[in-house]
């Protein structure tokens, strides 16, 4: 059974926020997460950490949502750090992000 995509928020201080993504980032399940990411991007936190480990599944619509959010963070001069231990979301965030956990199994084994 699919669960709607969710974003849990932890404001660390005035300059940084931790976001934990979970559920199904698939077409038809993105409404709540889309609304929350849009509102967060408007707050223009300089430092954003996006933890993607809780995403159960992701499709093109989910990838587009996360990618659009990342581009909004970068367009305001913010820094986005992505945590993706499963590699399920590799390729969503591009060279402007800081990968806190290597995205692919090969990258993880080389980093060890």
Give, for all 112 residues of the chain, the pLDDT tens digit.
789 999 999 999 999 999 999 999 999 999 999 999 999 999 999 999 999 999 999 999 999 999 999 999 999 999 998 888 877 777 777 544 555 554 445 544 444 4
Residue 75, classed as helix, strand or coil, is helix
Q: How far apart are the first and last CA of the chain?
A: 35
pLDDT at 106: 54
Q: Does domain 6-111 have CATH number 1.10.3720.10?
A: no
Global model pTM greater than 0.85: no
């Amino acid at each position: 059974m699919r669960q709607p995509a969710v974003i849990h928020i932890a404001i660390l201080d005035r300059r940084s926020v931790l976001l934990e993504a979970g559920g199904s980032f698939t077409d038809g399940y993105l409404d709540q997460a889309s609304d929350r990411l849009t509102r967060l991007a408007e707050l223009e936190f300089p430092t954003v950490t996006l933890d993607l480990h809780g995403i159960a599944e992701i499709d093109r619509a989910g990838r587009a949502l996360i990618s659009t959010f990342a581009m909004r963070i970068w367009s305001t001069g913010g820094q986005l750090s992505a945590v993706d231990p499963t590699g399920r979301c590799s390729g969503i965030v591009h060279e402007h992000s800081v990968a806190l956990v290597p995205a692919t199994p090969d990258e993880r084994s080389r980093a060890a």
